[in-house]
Structure formats: structure tokens, C-alpha cells
Amino acid sequence: MDPATLPKEVKVSHINLNDGTCAGMVYKEKMAMTIQYHPEASPGPHDSDPCFEDFVAMMKEHAKVEA
């Protein structure tokens, strides 16, 4: 996937350091995010913690808007 082909609202959040490919994207307007890697493989199971924290924050922000 070529990041230049993404809509301007979509931001690349993670790049694979081995081959330079896109490993994550965030589309805040659509409340969508994606990540493609296996964090438990190495170096540790906590590498994806910030992704989950961002997801929870996005849900909380949406709950305020809906209220």
C-alpha cells in the first residue's frame, strides 16, 4: 500500500522497520484505526499498549459527543 494513495485524513501511524511498509493507520474522522504486526513475537507483549490506550481514548471521546 502506497501511503500517497490514502485520503488526506488518513495518517500512517506505524512503519515496518524491516521493509518500510505501512503497518498502521488512523482515520480519526471515521473513528477507525488499524495495526498490522504481532507485538508478542519480540521484543515484548507491551509494544501495542499505546494502540489500545489510543483506542480507549477514541471511544471515550465519542461517548462525550454522543451524550
Q: How confident is the model at residue 10 (pLDDT cuts 50, 70, 90)?
A: very high
Residue closest to 37 by CA, chosen among 25, 50, 24: 24
pTM above 0.85, yes or no: no
For the purposes of burial, counting CB atoms within 10 Å of the CB of 26, is it exposed (0-12), middle (13-18) or buried (19 or more)? buried
Provide the domain count of the chain: 1
- Say yes or no to pLDDT of 3 above 90: no
Quick: pLDDT tens for 17-31. 888 888 899 998 888
Residue closest to 1 by CA, chosen among 25, 28, 21, 26: 21
**Residue ranges making up the domain that contains 29:** 3-66
For the purposes of burial, counting CB atoms within 10 Å of the CB of 33, is it exposed (0-12), middle (13-18) or buried (19 or more)? middle
